[in-house]
């Protein structure tokens, strides 16, 4: 079975992050994958083996070969695979769609959403101009969706193992191993200083892991790190450049709290079973807040009743603008006071999600079922 995945990099590294993760999982499931990417420079940021100057290259992964093709207007000769996946409605070029036939299963892989309506739209066909059907496929948090991108090898590692790997990889002192670790990878946010201060209020010797990103630049430009260091001199700030996706995942599982953005990062933060705060991508008319509430609703089933409102208020406040500092302090402080209960709930949610099928497995199952139906 040959699978083509098309990726257009729009928002930093989230698009290619999801696609590369899915490519690796499908390869682990013994499928041959061709990954078409329009921005190889962005891809190289999360995969050091990529050569941005090569139009076609073979990447070795777990002793298997993944074909990476620079997707551009010069891709004249295209021979489609058994399954063709457009990631996030990236729209195939005409010279690609003209080669598709009824033998190819054409998928529009949608963005992750916890909203209930995606269950009704998942796997629905859409008739295209060439009279072929393109099927909507929605990742999600329930059995009625396409599931999530699993990092299967990471499931067998516990936090302590991951933490030791991070200590070695980043060449950190072993003395930091027993501190409270928190990871920051979000968009620019005026509420971030208050959140960081409340975390350190409860863990004044905490360790902040800060990768190269928009938020790291924001913290320096606004002298936030310097201000916090003066207030909490025993805290440790570990800054590092962009790293391969595999180590990014290990860092997320090594921490005690993850503050993350985007689809790929939040998925791995949830699966890690570690408390998390999601900085969701801002949309007009506060549409993103409704999406955030939908995710919280799925998670609340695992939270104690007395903690649900605290968790919800914390995430919404972090994603809102023009919230008074007093309110932010109170909400973030409540979150840290409820940390143990939140930690237990995230561990339970992670176990539940792992008990469902993964995104890659569900895609293959859909292909097999649809192929059988067509033959009959």
With beta carbons less than 8 A apart as the criterion, state whether 228 and 197 touch.
Answer: yes
Going from the C-alpha of 266 to that of each of 40, 56, 111, 223, the distances in angstroms are 23, 31, 13, 27
Catalytic, out of 15, 38, 249, 256: 15
Cα gap 32→258, rounded to integer Å = 33
Do the beta carbons of residue 280 and residue 288 sit within 8 Å? yes
Decide: 36 and 2 in contact? Cβ < 8 Å.
Answer: no
User: E-strand spans in 62-116?
Assistant: 64-70, 83-87, 105-109
Q: Are 185 and 266 in contact (CB under 8 A)?
A: no
Contacts of 217-225 spanning 24+ positions with Cβ under 8 A: 218/188, 218/189, 218/192, 219/192, 222/193, 224/192, 224/193, 224/196
Residue 338 bears catalytic tag: no
- φ, ψ dihedrals at 137, nearest 5°: -130, 115
Run of H or E residues at 128: none
Radius of gyration of the chain (CA): 21
Token pair 């890659």: residue: 360
Whether 15 is catalytic is yes
Spatial neighbors of 203 by CB under 8 A, at least 6 apart, are: 179, 180
301: helix, strand or coil:
coil
* Catalytic annotation, pick one of 256, 263, 333, 338: 263
Catalytic residues: 15, 263
């Amino acid at each position: 079975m040959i699978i083509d995945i098309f990726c257009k990099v729009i928002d930093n590294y989230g698009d290619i992050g999801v696609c590369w993760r899915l490519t690796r999982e499908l390869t682990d499931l013994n499928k041959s994958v061709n990954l078409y990417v329009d921005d190889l420079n962005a891809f190289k940021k999360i995969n050091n083996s990529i050569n941005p100057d090569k139009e076609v290259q073979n990447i070795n992964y777990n002793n298997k070969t993944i074909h990476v093709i620079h997707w551009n207007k010069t891709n004249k000769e295209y021979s489609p695979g058994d399954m063709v996946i457009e990631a996030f409605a990236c729209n195939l070029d005409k010279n690609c769609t003209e080669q598709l036939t009824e033998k190819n299963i054409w998928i529009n892989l949608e963005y992750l959403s916890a909203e209930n309506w995606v269950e009704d739209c998942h796997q629905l066909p859409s008739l295209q101009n060439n009279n072929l059907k393109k099927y909507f496929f929605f990742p999600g948090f329930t059995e009625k969706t396409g599931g999530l991108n699993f990092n299967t090898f990471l499931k067998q590692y516990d936090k302590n193992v991951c933490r030791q790997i991070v200590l070695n990889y980043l060449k950190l002192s072993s003395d930091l191993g027993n501190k409270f670790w928190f990871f920051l990878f979000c968009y620019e946010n005026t509420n971030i200083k208050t959140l960081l201060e409340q975390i350190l209020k409860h863990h004044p010797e905490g360790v902040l892991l800060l990768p190269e990103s928009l938020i790291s630049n924001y913290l320096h430009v606004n002298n936030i790190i310097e201000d916090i260091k003066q207030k909490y001199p025993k805290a440790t700030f570990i800054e590092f450049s962009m790293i391969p996706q595999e180590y990014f995942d290990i860092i997320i599982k090594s921490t005690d709290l993850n503050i993350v953005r985007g689809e790929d990062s939040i998925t791995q933060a949830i699966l890690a079973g570690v408390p998390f705060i999601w900085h969701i991508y801002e949309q007009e008319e506060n549409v993103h807040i409704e999406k955030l509430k939908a995710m919280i609703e799925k998670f609340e089933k695992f939270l104690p009743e007395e903690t649900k409102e605290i968790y919800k208020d914390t995430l919404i406040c972090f994603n809102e603008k023009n919230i008074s500092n007093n309110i932010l302090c109170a909400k973030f402080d409540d979150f840290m006071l409820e940390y143990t209960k939140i930690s237990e709930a995230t561990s339970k949610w992670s176990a539940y999600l792992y008990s469902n099928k993964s995104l890659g497995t569900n895609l293959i199952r859909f292909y097999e079922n649809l192929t059988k139906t067509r033959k009959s």
